[in-house]
C-alpha cells in the first residue's frame, strides 16, 4: 500500500528539475508550504520517471534523507525501484512511497510517487503519529 509521508513537501519553480524537498522542522505540518518552518534540504529530485540508479541526500542537516537524483537503473540494479515525478515541476507535490500490490516489480522501499497535494487513491495509507504536548 502506498504510504503518505507527512512533513515533507516537494516544491519547484519550473527550473528545479523534479522539485526540491522541504522538511518541517517541527510538528506543524502543512501542505502547499515551503517557507516558515519548512527548510530546503539542498538537493533536487530527478527530472524524469524511471528506475533510480543514484541517490542525492540532504547534506549534514538531513543526512538521513535520500532522494532519487539519477535514473538509468532497472528492476534489479542498482536500487531496483521506480520514481514518478513531474518534470520541471512548477508547483507543490507530496511524496508517497512503497507502491501497492498492483505495481508488481516497481513496488519497493524506494518506490516513490510525487503527487499533487489533492491526490487520493484507495491504495493509499498512512501511519498515525502521536505527538505529546504535555511537559513534565
pLDDT, tens only, 9-28: 999 999 999 899 999 999 88
Structural domain boundaries in the chain: 2-125
Please give the average per-residue pLDDT across 59-71, as a whole number.
79
Q: Is the pTM of this model over 0.85?
A: no
CA distances from 70 to 26, 78, 113, 130 (A): 30, 11, 15, 35
Mean pLDDT computed over every residue of the chain: 80
Q: How many CB atoms lie within 10 A of CB 121?
A: 12
In the block, cell 515551503 appears at 34
Give the model's pLDDT for residue 125.
Answer: 54
d(CA 42, CA 20): 7
Question: What is the DSSP secondary structure assignment for residue 16, as one 8-state letter?
Answer: S
| DSSP character at residue 105 | G
Amino acid at each position: 500500500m502506498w504510504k503518505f509521508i507527512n512533513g515533507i513537501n516537494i516544491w519547484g519553480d519550473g527550473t528545479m528539475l523534479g522539485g526540491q524537498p522541504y522538511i518541517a522542522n517541527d510538528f506543524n505540518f502543512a501542505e502547499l508550504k515551503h517557507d516558515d518552518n519548512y527548510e530546503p534540504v539542498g538537493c533536487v529530485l530527478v527530472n524524469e520517471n524511471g528506475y533510480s540508479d543514484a541517490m542525492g541526500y540532504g547534506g549534514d542537516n538531513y543526512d538521513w534523507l535520500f532522494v532519487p537524483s539519477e535514473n538509468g537503473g532497472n528492476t534489479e540494479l542498482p536500487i531496483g525501484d521506480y520514481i514518478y515525478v513531474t518534470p520541471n515541476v512548477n508547483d507543490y507535490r507530496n511524496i508517497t512511497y512503497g507502491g501497492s500490490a498492483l505495481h508488481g516489480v516497481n513496488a519497493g522501499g524506494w518506490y516513490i510517487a510525487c503527487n499533487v497535494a489533492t491526490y487520493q487513491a484507495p491504495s493509499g495509507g498512512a501511519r498515525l503519529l502521536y505527538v505529546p504536548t504535555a511537559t513534565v
